[in-house]
Structure 1
């Protein structure tokens, strides 16, 4: 039970973004009280989970006071949010998980940060990422982001700190970016809703985007919060459409030949299939036809996108050995013409055509339990690349196709890690994905947070 003497009672850590915003707009609680309660909680628990590279305690309280003074407090009024350390926040250093990046503070907000702030959100901190947001684990020289479900497991990457912060109740809503699964992988590792929208939904600035692979999205514990956060970032509300009766394809077939799903992964997919059938949908087993060449194309884009987005002021001599190798391979791929837009176009056309006779596709996110929470930044490029492919063979192909995809919790595995599935739809189907996820929350409800100590 909440303490009635607490000025943030009922709207502290664990409250949803929607409930906090409603309460702040109605004057039932102040933004300062909400933010102060979350900051105190972050101070207590983040040393365990390693979610934040930087906590903006004093700045966040000042920003909360500004929200309280506003006449129009906005759709995210007083909501504490976390920003992935991959975009600019005014006055803050954007480190990108690296000692090689500039230490000059940003002079203006990234457009999506500006939109969240204009909507009344309060940025309480910048979340931990792997160097240059390349790998699916989030550790840097100062810490390791861990899954609150089991501290032995990584929180995933590259939006791992964001996922750990949401799963551990430090914020109800966090920004993430996703170039080859970097929202959906952490969402799966931490038992969250993680939405990567399709191309063009959220804003980009020059020098980002990973050759058109990456999109900005959200991590949350509820479908409502995910829609709310994404709508503000997109500049237009994102609905949760009641989907009606859909024809839904299910596939556990891995697009990577050496990374088959384990038994727990397949069981989770079947569990979701049964729940969708119970919700009134027609489910069929149907596998996308994935050309063998897609693995080579995905690898070329993964390395080439990193090389293409290397900041001009980066001191490459300070890069981690794994990242230096990754950038080198990416430059080779670009010079050799392996980053083929024609090849990507052919796959995009095939992927879109898959949805001509089905409305939605459901696959796993991960093929196995999350990777161990270790200092992956000290390991070789090969060790990181090999385990990256084995962990998460499913998400990246949909970045290549520019299609929206949503990670949804699907219970808990026998090894203690969350189970998760990925919903994929045709262009412009974000509202449909959210609608089906909302149905799953009804027929296959998930725990918003693990039992935290």
Structure 2
């Protein structure tokens, strides 16, 4: 059944909320109060937040109400992934080993969202150091609201659970090897990883140039609004007339081919795009057999290179200590090979010389079980990471924008998803293609929530 206890405004889009606050039909305080009450009711079930900033959020909402120019995100409750600084808050990164000193200033993307009128209601749950594709920490497990037996994904899993369960209409995520798109797929959302140079970074982050900040939401307009408010350049939805769209289900990992449900969803999307007037072709880029070794070296090496300052490594989870140790060995051995990455980047960009958009799966299978993956071995985590999501990391290595888009509901009741990939600078085009898919294959913005 639906969550009928949700107050007015809960479940509304960011665009709707901001318009209502700007026009005086509601106040930022009223909106935030409603969402905080909803979080209090449902988050014990879904585990989206590490910290809810109730008093601070209400004070921020009052400040928005006092502003003459309330901004494009006026009064919109947002969630920030516990991976960037929020003034006065401890950035835990899902770990007991990180510093407990509160941040002295906002990360630039947080500052930009606040300047646009957004209200930060909380910090979302992540795996330790945002390494793994499930989001559990010592205090809880982020679960997909579609079925709480399954993980919300990672590393932006708490962010995805918060949006999917109507706790916020927009959430920040970061994506180094699929960490926005994987949870978006697990939770039936849009999740956009932009290309390099779109959203701001600070020193000491970036995962060797793999990671980008992006947005999770339920509508194309919300994602464009949220990304535009944090971006270094305007983001506009570009509605295409006729494109050449490649569709490929071939996994780069031999032992992680997509299941039948995933392939059916992909073909359904391909047919819808053809009906919309696009030329669809069954092809994908040629992927060198060495690319998965390179991806593994970057996955471990990037985490090792971005270990936070003031980290007490003796308090790291066993899987994380192993991951960092493997990454340091990969860096010393020269396996993190920028020349090899450049060759893949050039090949990936060249693929788009006669193709406008590539469509692939995000996940190869249903989400992983909602378990305390942080207590399991590194090898167990690494193996299941490869089996779950072999598709997204290729596009971090190539530095290309990619967007997870809902693609119906599987027979097991979990959401389907596809990934749209485009050439450099194609964020607006990907959103435009997603808008056409939303018309051709409308998706439920939220699952029905269990009664509490």
Assess same fold via TM > 0.5: yes
Q: For 1:101-112, what aligned pairs fall within 5 Å after superposition?
A: 101-112=98-109
In the other structure, the counterpart of 2:243 is 246
Matches within 5 A, 1:338-349: 338-349=335-346
Residues 1:379 and 2:376 are matched in the alignment: yes
Q: Is the 8 A contact 2:197 2:232 kept in 1?
A: no
Question: What do residues 150-188 of structure 1 show as CA deviations (whole Å, max 9, x unaligned)?
Answer: 111100000000000000000000000000000000000
TM (normalized to structure 2)? 0.98
The superposition leaves residues 169-209 of structure 1 with CA deviations (integer Å, 9 ceiling, x where unpaired) of: 00000000000000000000000000000011000000000
Does residue 392 in structure 1 map to residue 417 in structure 2? no
- Runs of 4+ with >3 A deviation: none
How far residue 215 of structure 1 moved from its aligned partner, in angstroms, is 0.1
1:78-102 CA-to-partner distances (Å, cap 9, x unmatched) read: 0000000000000000000000000
Q: Which residue of 2 aligns with 1:369?
A: 366
Gapped regions of structure 1 (runs ≥ 5): none
1:326-372 per-position Cα deviation (integer Å, ceiling 9, x unaligned) = 00000000000000000000000000000011100000000000000
Determine the C-alpha separation between the residues in 1 that align with 2:441 and 2:277.
14
Please tell me the root mean square deviation across aligned C-alpha atoms, in Å.
1.1
CA distance in 1, matches of 2:92, 2:188: 27
* Contact persistence 2:145–2:447 (CA under 8 A): yes
Identify the match of residue 96 of structure 2 among 91, 95, 99. 99
Q: Which runs of 5+ in 2 are unaligned?
A: none
Deviations 1:65-124 (A, max 9, x none): 000000000000000000000000000000000000000000000000000000000000
Partner residue in 2 for 1:280: 277
Q: Answer yes or no: is 1:319 the counterpart of 2:316.
A: yes
Please tell me whether the aligned partners of residues 7 and 34 of structure 2 are also in contact (alpha carbons under 8 angstroms). no
Q: Secondary structure at the match of 2:348?
A: helix
Which of 427, 444, 448 is equivalent to 2:445?
A: 448
Residue in 2 that maps onto 1:52: 49
> Is 1:115–1:235's contact at 8 Å kept on the other side of the alignment?
no
**CA shift for structure 1 position 237:** 2.9
Give the counterpart of 1:213 among 210, 214, 217: 210
Match status 1:356 vs 2:353: yes
- Using the TM superposition, give the Cα deviation of residue 417 of structure 1 relative to its aligned residue in structure 2, in angstroms: 1.2
* Alpha-carbon distance in structure 2 between the residues aligned to 1:237 and 1:271: 32
Tell me whether 1:40 sits opposite 2:24 in the alignment.
no
Cα distance, 1:9 vs structure 2: 6.4
Q: Conserved in 1, the CA contact under 8 Å of 2:237 and 2:428?
A: yes
Is the 1:228–1:237 contact (alpha carbons within 8 Å) kept by the matching residues of 2? no
Structure 1 partner of 2:266: 269
Aligned counterparts of 2:284 and 2:211: Cα–Cα separation in 1: 24
Which of 418, 424, 430 is matched with 1:433 structurally? 430
Q: Secondary structure at the match of 1:36?
A: helix
The 8 Å contact of residues 89 and 110 in structure 1, kept in 2 or not, is answered as yes
Q: Which range moves more in the overlay, 410-419 or 202-211?
A: 410-419
Shift of 1:415: 1.4
